[in-house]
Structure 1
């Protein structure tokens, strides 16, 4: 399967032919069918999660389980694999796009464009792979239902939020279907403009709070990371140890192994530069790696190997933080087909560049063999560059509804770049049938998530799974 060309159509198909294909798909798989949640009779959510643990850092697996058990929403964030298995049993529109693969509301956020604008987009592509467009929409809709429950919202408030997401996706796809192809590729979301457009929907205090968050986002850069993650020792910047969340490499291994890993990572940085544009490769080579540390990230990613790299230039007067994160096979692969890329770091980067309007200038990939003799794929990016995520647990219903619309329209733009936007728009139509189907699915899946959360808790109590809650 070619991850770079998931589109349904050939370039020579006319707009009318593509619209007809979308309507034919709707006749085969009615919109109302997307409300269905059919589960495999031998479904074992705990077994799937424990299966993922075999390829992860053993001492971090209990941390992952502990974070997932914090609430049904944190469980949902870490349960991309069980949901992929569940979606594989659902009706399939046959309209393929480049999927994010983990399109929940916490995987959208703000970051800096190369032009130093604050943009809003998807920001997690570990699971990206081609597949049916509705898989991302269902995961997004369900995430709002689960998060709304965590926030104590009423049934009516939660349904309004999920409907806003489904409607936003459908209406945005219709708009993209009417646009020229180049205009779709030039489209993006400037966060300040989006906030201005949402001003009438937000109370004054909420609007001012949102502006304050944008100001805070601009301060989340390498300089801020430097102050938080490092200290000066004997005149040089060193990463501060905070086990198990941040552990310098020299504390993880004996002296010889640490030296070998330092050399491995430096070699990775040198060779990963070949995946960058020549001008960005030149910029990278102005910096030298001085230290690295293992860093625990996210919820679902806990246990995969993630390193933060401290680099310096101009004799230590300038610093840059990069993150090298292990890329394993997508959770979608068993259900949507394997990527043609043997290097999953490349799979992540190509998928990200296909879906995002703009991407980090240091985004690249490489494969390296560790001191344990195991070859692993990595993708590399800046640790922070105005990166910021919305405070979901602080949202009120009206704010989450605005956010749902923003996320959904952003997802539609990402899908419109890779799939057949005209066929998808024709499939969705102008009625609210799809919106209501997604809202119904979201309720059913949130109920399932609560049961799955309880099942993992029971597995921990029974000793089948281990969990650590103090980090």
Structure 2
């Protein structure tokens, strides 16, 4: 009887056993939590840093969202296969959601790529799995359920990777997770009703709706309404007019020609700084209100881009412009990307990327997910992540390494619980530093 020869993926098990993926050991070189936070604050807008600390202080999960760099350090010292994909980088359950494709179809996909970079596939899986443990604990679910959700992420990822590794390449790249199809395929009435409500809300969300929600008429011109300290005007449009035009001209050259033509129909009406997310707080994030000759609005989000937190532990990005790194990574991973996705550079040399603001976006309210919904969501995120990695990495080798048994899933569950425990310890150190006055905090 002939013996099947080991594939390259299976051969990696000799040096990186699947059980080792469950190990978590702190490096003696690991920086203190206070040091890590101060390092991550470097280059941010100083007066916004207390707001960042305030948002991170809400829970261990919120802290986890803001400290992708610390986890990157921890992951880099652990066993990994070095099978490289286009990693999301900051891969947690709140960085997935729904949005509209250029054809206006609502799809589910990853939607935050500030840290994207080629890296080993396990880092995304482990960060995603750990986020489900922390979210389950935050929602006061049983500890056994929290672990099972991390296992579910891995199981869904493993089964899907096997499926995608055998798909026709074009079919894989055309594949989308359409929200209506997800709603119709679920066996859970609760999940179906939740998706139906989310889809209905998203389909009503138009640029005009956003326009009336966040703008006001001031002496015959429209302005974004100040909501200090989260939305305010740092720029004088008249004084900065030339700089803004140069910035947008450079940006327009990163768009496809047809989209550049469309963009040329709009002019800048107003620009305001807007605090967003948790990890992004303190970076320069702006909202630009554009109008055309018909007084129809277009909102662009302008986000500062810096080096990925993964770059200290992998090769440097091949893109010299951090905004281009984000955009190209997003285009690789997503099934469809915003038509206004592009990048530019400010006069002071800062890198930015641009996209539409709130384009029929569906942001899952994970803080209120019960066991049934969170478990279903874990399976969906694992499946979507596998598709992203299969598109951009050696899917057959990754699938062969994981194999058909539950060994890998058990290891990921073990790791996720251990790292969630560590995150809670780190969070305790963080809140202790706040109480001692070592870190300024503002709740906004």
Q: Compute the TM-score of the two structures, normalised by the length of structure 1.
A: 0.91
Partner residue, 1:380 = 354
Shift of 1:260: 4.0
Match of 1:102, SS? coil
Further displaced range: 426-435 or 225-234: 225-234
Partner residue, 2:412 = 438
Shift of 1:119: 0.4
Partner residue, 1:243 = 228
Give deviations 1:270-300, integer Å, cap 9, x for gaps: 2201001100000000000111000001000
Partner residue, 1:7 = none
Select which of 234, 257, 265 maps to 1:286.
Answer: 265
Q: Say whether residues 1:396 and 2:370 are aligned partners.
A: yes
Shift of 1:71: 0.5
Q: Say whether residues 1:300 and 2:288 are aligned partners.
A: no
Instruction: Name structure 1 gaps, 5 residues minimum.
Output: 1-15
Q: Say whether residues 1:87 and 2:87 are aligned partners.
A: no
Shift of 1:209: 2.7
Partner residue, 1:46 = 34
Q: Compute the TM-score of the two structures, normalised by the length of structure 2.
A: 0.96
Q: Say whether residues 1:26 and 2:26 are aligned partners.
A: no
1:325-336 to structure 2, matched below 5 A, reads 325-336=303-314
Select which of 427, 433, 450 maps to 2:401.
Answer: 427
Q: Say whether residues 1:456 and 2:430 are aligned partners.
A: yes
Q: For residues 156 and 142 of structure 1, what CA distance do their matches in structure 2 show?
A: 14
Shift of 1:27: 2.3
Partner residue, 1:174 = 162
Shift of 1:262: 4.2
Q: For residues 263 and 247 of structure 1, what CA distance do their matches in structure 2 show?
A: 21
Partner residue, 2:246 = 267
Q: For residues 231 and 349 of structure 1, what CA distance do their matches in structure 2 show?
A: 31
**1:221–1:387 CA contact under 8 A, matched in 2:** no
Partner residue, 1:163 = 151
Select which of 415, 435, 439 maps to 1:465.
Answer: 439
Partner residue, 1:190 = 178
Partner residue, 1:313 = 292
Give deviations 1:149-169, integer Å, cap 9, x for gaps: 000000121122222111000
Instruction: Name structure 2 gaps, 5 residues minimum.
Output: none
Shift of 1:447: 0.5
**1:275–1:364 CA contact under 8 A, matched in 2:** yes
Further displaced range: 425-434 or 224-233: 224-233
Select which of 210, 215, 227 maps to 1:225.
Answer: 210
Q: Say whether residues 1:36 and 2:10 are aligned partners.
A: no
Select which of 194, 214, 236 maps to 1:209.
Answer: 194
Q: 1:206 to 1:186 in 2, by over 3 A?
A: closer
Q: 1:465 to 1:424 in 2, by over 3 A?
A: same
Shift of 1:206: 4.2
Shift of 1:208: 1.6
Match of 1:97, SS? strand
Q: For residues 50 and 168 of structure 1, what CA distance do their matches in structure 2 show?
A: 37
Q: For residues 260 and 20 of structure 1, what CA distance do their matches in structure 2 show?
A: 63
Partner residue, 1:10 = none
Match of 1:431, SS? coil
**2:190–2:373 CA contact under 8 A, matched in 1:** no
Q: For residues 224 and 329 of structure 1, what CA distance do their matches in structure 2 show?
A: 34
Shift of 1:438: 0.7
Q: 1:310 to 1:460 in 2, by over 3 A?
A: same
Partner residue, 1:357 = 335
Q: 1:262 to 1:294 in 2, by over 3 A?
A: farther
RMSD: 1.5
**1:22–1:424 CA contact under 8 A, matched in 2:** yes
**1:25–1:94 CA contact under 8 A, matched in 2:** no
Q: Say whether residues 1:63 and 2:51 are aligned partners.
A: yes
Give the number of aligned pairs.
440
Q: For residues 427 and 221 of structure 1, what CA distance do their matches in structure 2 show?
A: 45
Q: 1:36 to 1:277 in 2, by over 3 A?
A: same
**1:220–1:388 CA contact under 8 A, matched in 2:** no
Partner residue, 1:407 = 381
Partner residue, 1:12 = none
Q: For residues 406 and 284 of structure 1, what CA distance do their matches in structure 2 show?
A: 35
Q: Say whether residues 1:148 and 2:136 are aligned partners.
A: yes
Q: For residues 444 and 91 of structure 1, what CA distance do their matches in structure 2 show?
A: 15
**1:161–1:397 CA contact under 8 A, matched in 2:** no
Partner residue, 1:4 = none
Give deviations 1:280-321, integer Å, cap 9, x for gaps: 000000000111000001000000001100000025x21110
**2:208–2:296 CA contact under 8 A, matched in 1:** no
